[in-house]
């Protein structure tokens, strides 16, 4: 199977696999005996390396189980901390965000939060002016660094400047962007930033929320008071060290890999663009490893994203139809809908460090036939 779904999860790096195989059993890093102190040293070394790779201070790194927990902690935590019940500020959220954000915000809305939703354009880029106008009186604002479906880069600098001017903490969901474009927490101006290890070739179930030292946040869960009380629970020193290793490597190879991915995704987009019924909503200003296209149905019929994904799967290519698949249930992509596209089959092809030129050659050879069959199936 040729993997064109690295944006969902990219395979473990060789160095990470080797480090995992060689790992010694670690004690609880909060234990005061020598074994605990050794685990603590591994954990704090990892925290320092994660911080250095992302332009943060080690005390700003709150280790979590990944992007979903980080986004939930950022949004629920900031809203809860913004004042007493009945006097909390609004949440500002673009409609093209990942479900980790949208569903957390919807839950808070049912708890009584005011939600200000911000539109996106035909490339899934957030309307920065509308977001800035929605900031006064907000408890927290959030935005992707780049769309995880279309790959389009978001107006990070503009929105961060507006949030700073309005005194509203900004959370950036950089889960899909880290390792593919430069991400520097301090320079970004954000109060919080989410990152996940499995997008970088590290283990699943590990991630971090970077939390600026002046940010006010309530914890999601309570217990032993680890990590400034923001994330109680025994810390995963091994997971953190493998995450740090994957992140460091991803950042070190970013420049060369981004250029290679850009060239390969350009080739894919150039090959599909002339095909009947194919549109490429976000060709420019995008994450280099993502090629996203939509396929229109024939004769006014809606195209079926699952059919296209299935045909490519049968041909030996693992791809994404861009929709959020929760528990294996495909939902129509809210992002594609927010871009004003209905009845189209989205296809997200995402590359990684193991993608070779010949994988792309093979994909380009089967894409036209698969697209034509999926359109005819409508």
Ligand X SMILES: Cc1ncc(COP(=O)(O)O)c(C=O)c1O
Q: Based on the number of CB atoms within 10 Å of its own CB, is 83 exposed (0-12), middle (13-18) or buried (19 or more)?
A: exposed
Of the two residues 88 and 180, which places its CB atom closer to ligand X in the complex?
A: 180
Here the tokens at position 261 are 């991915």
Catalytically annotated residue among 318, 325, 341, 362: 325
The contact mask relative to ligand X for 105-134 (x = CB under 6 A, - = no) is ------------------------------
Q: 122 and 319 in contact (C-beta within 8 Å)?
A: no
Q: Which residue has the tokens 């949030």?
A: 163
**Which of 285, 260, 254, 258 has the alpha carbon at shortest distance from 54?**
254
When CB distances to ligand X are compared, the closest residue is 67
Figure out which of the listed residues 29, 66, 94, 288 binds ligand X, where binding follows CB under 6 A.
66
339 an active-site residue?
no
By CB under 6 A, residue 98 contacts ligand X:
yes
Nearer to ligand X, 154 or 235 (CB): 154
The residue within the footprint of ligand X, chosen from 10, 68, 320, 350 (CB under 6 A), is 68
Q: Is 196 helix (H, G, I), strand (E, B) or coil?
A: strand
196 in contact with ligand X (CB under 6 A): yes
Q: How far apart are CA 275 and CA 272, in angstroms?
A: 5
Least distance (Å) between residue 337 CB and ligand X: 17
Among 5, 173, 257, 296, binds ligand X (CB under 6 A): 173
Among 29, 176, 201, 203, binds ligand X (CB under 6 A): 176
In angstroms, give the least distance from the CB of 84 to ligand X. Answer: 30
Q: What stretch of H or E contains 138?
A: strand 138-144
| 273 touches 143 (CB < 8 A) | no
Burial class of 344 by CB neighbour count within 10 A (0 to 12, 13 to 18, 19+): buried
Helix (H) or strand (E) holding 314: helix 305-314
CA–CA separation, 207 and 29 (whole Å): 18
* 40, 63, 67, 88: which one binds ligand X (CB under 6 A): 67
> Which is nearer to ligand X, 67 or 77 (by Cβ)?
67
Site residues (vs ligand X, CB under 6 A): 66-68, 71, 98, 100, 144, 148, 173, 175-176, 196, 207
Catalytic residue numbers? 325
């Amino acid at each position: 199977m040729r993997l064109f779904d690295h944006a969902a999860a990219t395979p473990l790096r060789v160095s990470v696999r080797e480090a995992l195989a060689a790992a010694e059993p670690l004690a609880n890093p909060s234990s005061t005996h020598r074994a605990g102190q050794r685990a603590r040293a591994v954990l704090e070394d990892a925290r320092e390396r994660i911080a250095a790779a992302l332009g943060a201070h080690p005390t700003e790194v709150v280790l979590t189980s990944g992007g979903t927990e980080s986004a939930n902690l950022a949004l629920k935590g900031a809203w809860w901390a913004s004042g007493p019940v009945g006097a909390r500020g609004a949440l500002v959220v673009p409609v093209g965000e990942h479900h980790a954000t949208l569903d957390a915000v919807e839950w808070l809305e049912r708890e009584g939060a005011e939600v200000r939703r911000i539109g996106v354009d035909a490339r899934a880029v957030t309307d920065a002016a509308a977001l800035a106008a929605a900031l006064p009186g907000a408890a927290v604002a959030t935005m992707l660094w780049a769309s995880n479906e279309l790959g389009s880069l978001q107006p990070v600098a503009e929105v961060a400047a507006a949030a700073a001017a309005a005194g509203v903490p900004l959370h950036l969901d950089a889960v899909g962007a880290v390792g593919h474009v430069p991400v520097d927490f301090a320079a970004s101006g954000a109060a919080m930033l989410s990152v996940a290890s499995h997008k970088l070739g590290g283990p699943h179930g590990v991630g971090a929320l970077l939390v600026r030292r002046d940010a006010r946040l309530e914890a999601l869960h309570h217990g032993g008071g680890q990590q400034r009380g923001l994330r109680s629970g025994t810390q995963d020193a091994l997971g953190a060290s493998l995450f740090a290793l994957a992140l460091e490597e991803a950042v070190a190879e970013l420049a060369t890999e981004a250029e290679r991915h850009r060239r390969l995704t350009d080739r894919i987009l150039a090959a599909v663009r002339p095909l009947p019924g194919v549109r490429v909503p976000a060709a420019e200003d995008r994450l280099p490893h993502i090629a996203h296209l939509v396929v229109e149905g024939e004769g006014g019929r809606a195209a079926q994203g699952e059919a296209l994904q299935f045909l490519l799967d049968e041909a030996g290519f693992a791809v994404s139809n861009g929709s959020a698949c929760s528990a294996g249930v495909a939902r129509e992509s809210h992002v594609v809908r927010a871009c004003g596209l209905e009845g189209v089959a989205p296809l997200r092809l995402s590359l990684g460090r193991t993608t070779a030129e010949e994988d792309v050659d093979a994909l380009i050879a089967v894409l036209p036939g698969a697209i034509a069959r999926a359109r005819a199936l409508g």
